[in-house]
Structure 1
Amino acid sequence: MSNSTNRRPIITHENPKSPISEAYRTLRTNIQFSSIDEELKVLMITSAGPGEGKSTTLVNLAVAYAQADKKVLVIDADLRKPTMHHTLQVSNRWGLTNLLTNQLSIPEVLQASAIKNLNIITSGPIPPNPSEILASKKMTSVLDELRQQFDIVLIDAPPAIAVTDSQIIATRSDGVILVVDSDRVKRDAALKAKQNLDNVRARILGVVLNNVDRKNRDAYYYYYYGESK
């Protein structure tokens, strides 16, 4: 079990009536309506650089789907700095790297979280060659199999301008969400991340802008979505 001190709060689970939780539900709805003729089942979440909130966005979006009675799988494909096992408080002794190197099967690496309908495949041991492992034919076959088992698969990928991992995963995903911290990331960095994804013809569904000042709107959202008696 992971150390609870490393766990980030999951607001959609702990405070589902908050305006922030409603924003994640809105994101879920926008994704669902972003493609009418094609079902989006495998989504990759990335950011331009580290610390922008991609993993927080992913796990809250995952809970939003789970709360809608969808069978959800989170895959931690950040094989360099994995964090999802801390967030969902599961073991990382085995995971995606064991699966992709044919040491274990999908049922052996699949773990149920404490949240209903939400499962996870953690990163597993950090490998010396993350990009090569993610580019393997095994990764493609694994995702094809998981499409049949889950309603939605959300992949936590490394930052898009740091390494090529995100570009590799994007080619195997139905869509990409780019998370941008409005306070930290410069325009050039965000555009570079988008360009890297465009270079592999990734299907960018949209951008999540974090840390936007919404003080004036919060009062309205708390009033509208607050608990009624």
Structure 2
Amino acid sequence: MALKKFKNQKGSSTTSRHLIADKLPKSPISEQYRTIRTNIQFSSVDQNLRSIMVTSSGPSEGKSTTASNMAVVFAQQGKKVLYIDADLRKPTAHYTFHQSNVTGLTTVLTRQSLLSETISTTRIENLDILTSGPIPPNPAELLSSKVLDDMLAAAYIQYDMVIFDTPPVLAVTDAQILANKCDGTLMVVASGATDKDSAQKAKELLHSAKAKLLGVVLNGKKKSDGALYYYYGGK
């Protein structure tokens, strides 16, 4: 099956982890995030899409930047959004949103804190965040637990959309575990950097996990010759 491609533009470390959809909502890059949002919504017209997992085949392909900015544009649409940092090995959301990470997803999953007490509000209207919490020794086991299913069910009561940032597919099994729990999966690949075989292998692993692959964000793709191109930083 051919992968659908939602193009995004090239990155720069100076803007790494910036929420450009919030800071520069009228920029061409922000418009691209809104285009991805629209494509996702059109791809799921027959399904009530409540949760999206954002992943990549390998590291440094822009998944965390994509996930956080997608959370912003869904919130800007008026949806009540919960952004969850489920990358329990290399979390970044607490930096991106300037939040404490003393408690988070891991403390909820180990029943050390309640979801309602652990979620943090952000300055962005309609957008709340659940940071990763302390890095655990057993991320895959936590993500496959019944507690996560119960937590997600509770989140659906309060939120229109839940967006997960997860580790790369080829690195660990975490993304495959979550893919089976989410309504849709978005995979990020980096133009000129992601190996074609790696992307194909990641796609196969997601399908074997019964993920609903909504599409692929092609990150770092330059505009055609003679046109301006824009860039943003990614993890």
Question: Structure 1 regions of 5+ residues with no counterpart?
Answer: 222-229
* Per-residue CA distance 1:150-199 (angstroms, 9 max, x = gap): 01100000000000000000010000000000121110010111111011
- Contact 1:79-1:130 within 8 A present in 2 as well: yes
- Root-mean-square deviation (CA), in Å? 1.8
Question: Structure 2 regions of 5+ residues with no counterpart?
Answer: 1-13, 231-235
1:130 to 122, 139, 161: 139
Q: Distance in 2 between matches of 1:84 and 1:47?
A: 16
* Structure 1 equivalent of residue 209 of structure 2: 200
Q: Which aligned pairs between 1:115-126 and structure 2 lie closer than 5 A?
A: 115-126=124-135
Select the structure with the greater relative contact order (CA < 8 A; seq sep ≥ 6): 2
Q: Distance in 1 between matches of 2:97 and 2:229?
A: 31
* Per-residue CA distance 1:128-168 (angstroms, 9 max, x = gap): 00000000000111111111110110000000000000000
Q: Distance in 2 between matches of 1:209 and 1:7?
A: 17
Q: Which aligned pairs between 1:35-114 and structure 2 lie closer than 5 A?
A: 35-114=44-123
Q: Distance in 2 between matches of 1:183 and 1:114?
A: 35
Give the paired residue count.
217
Displacement over 3 Å in runs of 4+: 215-221
Q: TM-score, normalised on structure 2?
A: 0.89
Structure-2 change in CA distance of 1:99 and 1:15 (3 Å): same
- Contact 1:52-1:180 within 8 A present in 2 as well: yes
Q: Distance in 2 between matches of 1:17 and 1:88?
A: 20
Q: Percent identity among equivalent residues?
A: 53
* Structure 2 equivalent of residue 177 of structure 1: 186
Q: Write 1 or 2 for the structure with the bigger share of helix.
A: 1
User: Aligned to 2:214, what secondary structure does the other structure show?
Assistant: strand
* Structure 2 equivalent of residue 147 of structure 1: 156
User: Aligned to 1:114, what secondary structure does the other structure show?
Assistant: coil
Structure-2 change in CA distance of 1:20 and 1:92 (3 Å): same
